[in-house]
Structure 1
Amino acid sequence: PLFQRPYSWRKDNVKQLWYDLIATKDENDEFSHFFGSFVTMPIPSSASQVSKYTIIDGQQRIVTTYILLAAIRNRIIELESDSELKDEIDEKYLINKFDPLGKYKVVPTQADKSIFFKIIDELSPDLDDNHKITETYEYFQKELSKLNDLDGLILLKDTLLSKFSVVDITLENNDDPYLIFESLNATGTPLTQADLIRNYLFMRISEDNQQEVYNSIWFPMQQQLGDYLENFYQTLFSNGWEYSQF
């Protein structure tokens, strides 16, 4: 959704996920790891389409999990090029094989789409070195390169998919996802001024116009300013610009 921030997991977040995965893999069969709660909202779709959901909370974890799955798939192919596991991982978890209009099971923010889809589609993706998604993928690549046992990789995949437990909270269609997103993130990683302003603005733009405003104004500005977006707003406020939440 438009109110989600771009991918922002730091290396210590990624390392913790990896350590949790290894620890869970090495435990007995009854042990599982709680991966937190995920808040979603159904998107209206026709009966012939795959069911779709907007991710209100949990996007960073889901995107990271898919990056890890793609990295595991690629390592399996390095060890056994004709392995049927590639198709299993792709078709069960990464893509919707028979839905040409909704190929990818997870679609991240506009800023992350290109690099994320490369990782899903390609076995040796050429990635932007300055993107956090690249940092995450390369970390998993480095750790997986230490594993030379196909059975060990399969166990790692199965641990991630079956021993990481979550709580799934599905909202009603009349709930306000913008307010819920802001409330849920109040106790996690602090929302930046840019996050709050983006959320505030899109709460007040009609749903029919949100995508157009995002594509024509917000996203180009975000691309142009990059890490300076926060400083840009701080400069505006220091020169007398104000916005209030109500």
Structure 2
Amino acid sequence: MAQSKFANTHARNLGNIFKIHDSDEILYKIPPFQRNYSWDADNVSTLWDDLLESHQNFDVDSISAQYLLGATVLIPEDGTNYNMIIDGQQRLATLTLYFCAIRDLYHQLDGKIEENPNDPRNALYLNLLSIIGNYQIKNGKNEKTGWKLTLNNVDQAFFQKFQEYQHKDNRFITYDEKLVTVEKSRKKSHKLLREAYKTLHTSILDWLVEQDDDNLESPEKMKIEQKMEIAKKSAPLLLTLTNNTLKNIYLVAIDGESNTEKILTDSDAFQIFETLNTRGETLSRSNLVKSLILSCLS
């Protein structure tokens, strides 16, 4: 019996997708035909609700606790370490912002990285680094060799501002209220990226505040400085939140390559892309036509 071209379809947790414990450099790229970042605050809040529900129900020994978040279609780019994201780019971009927000809160609430290699906070920090970028030890230093996810040409330079850790006087800039440092852009996708990060940062911070049993005030009524002070007590929960997300959140990955051969062609991937997008958030006819033309030219 001939092998199905979709035989390499399987559920993978985020730890596997981001290859945080793998020496191989696996990178992801959004191809030029894909639309710009388009998730609004409702999409981002829904994702956070899913991640939080998964965290609250996490059971390391229970298969039933595994949380299926959606699907992604990946095609390896010939001659590189990149996988092209044919579908699922909005979700993966937002998940990257989610991990950026956790990394930033780690710095804001917990201060400098401890030098003790056995400190579990170092494992958290290294995991977060390897989710956002690929790092290798060079000359005794942990140096970045590439971003884990690259958006299209319109969005990448702006997206990279969140991938990079920014700080001033050892205090991270929170992109909130008077602390805004990422410049405002007139591009709609850039505004959405900025709002997505802010939504995730605020949601995670508010959740940390709610974990303090001594605090009876709603975080929505607090200024950010007050929330940051209260959340310091709950900062260690960021380690658990990160680990549970990586272990328990799954995506159905339709991979275009098996261990021995390419089993999904570019045309196959475009077909799946059109099918998924006409059943989910509607694409404009012009985008679907453009994807078909690019499919024929590839």
Deviation of the 1:173 alpha carbon: 5.4
Q: Distance in 1 between matches of 2:293 and 2:94?
A: 28
Q: Provide closer, same or farther for how the CA distance between residues 94 and 28 of structure 1 changes in structure 2, counting only shifts above 3 A.
A: closer
Q: Distance in 2 between matches of 1:151 and 1:166?
A: 27
Q: Distance in 2 between matches of 1:57 and 1:195?
A: 13
Cα deviations by residue, 1:105-158 (Å, 9 ceiling, x for unpaired): 111111210121110013335143651111100001111222221221112111
RMSD (Å), alpha carbons: 2.3
Q: Provide closer, same or farther for how the CA distance between residues 101 and 82 of structure 1 changes in structure 2, counting only shifts above 3 A.
A: closer
1:110 aligns with 2:195: no
Deviation of the 1:104 alpha carbon: 0.5
Cα deviations by residue, 1:149-190 (Å, 9 ceiling, x for unpaired): 122111211122111012211123534133332222111111
Kindly provide the amino acid, as one letter, of the partner of residue 153 in structure 1.
L
1:21 aligns with 2:51: yes
Q: Distance in 1 between matches of 2:183 and 2:286?
A: 26
Q: Distance in 1 between matches of 2:51 and 2:58?
A: 13
2:243 to 152, 155, 158: 158
**8 Å contact kept, 2:73–2:85:** yes
1:194 to 286, 291, 294: 286
- Unaligned residue ranges in structure 1 (runs of 5+): 208-246
Kindly provide the amino acid, as one letter, of the partner of residue 265 in structure 2.
N
1:75 to 89, 105, 124: 105
Q: Provide closer, same or farther for how the CA distance between residues 188 and 98 of structure 1 changes in structure 2, counting only shifts above 3 A.
A: same
- TM superposition score normalised by structure 2: 0.62
**8 Å contact kept, 2:266–2:295:** no
Give matches, 1:97-246, under 5 Å: 97-98=135-136, 103-123=146-166, 124=173, 126-128=182-184, 131-146=191-206, 147=208, 148=231, 149-171=234-256, 172=263, 174-176=265-267, 177-205=269-297, 207=298
- The count of aligned residue pairs is 201
Q: Provide closer, same or farther for how the CA distance between residues 110 and 79 of structure 1 changes in structure 2, counting only shifts above 3 A.
A: same
Kindly provide the amino acid, as one letter, of the partner of residue 89 in structure 1.
L
- TM superposition score normalised by structure 1: 0.74
The structure in which a higher percent of residues are helix is: 1
The structure in which a higher percent of residues are strand is: 2
Deviation of the 1:87 alpha carbon: 3.8
**8 Å contact kept, 1:127–1:134:** no
Identical amino acids, percent of aligned pairs: 26
2:127 to 60, 81, 88: 88
**8 Å contact kept, 2:66–2:249:** yes
Q: Distance in 1 between matches of 2:54 and 2:291?
A: 36
Relative contact order (alpha carbons < 8 A, sep ≥ 6): 1 or 2 greater?
2
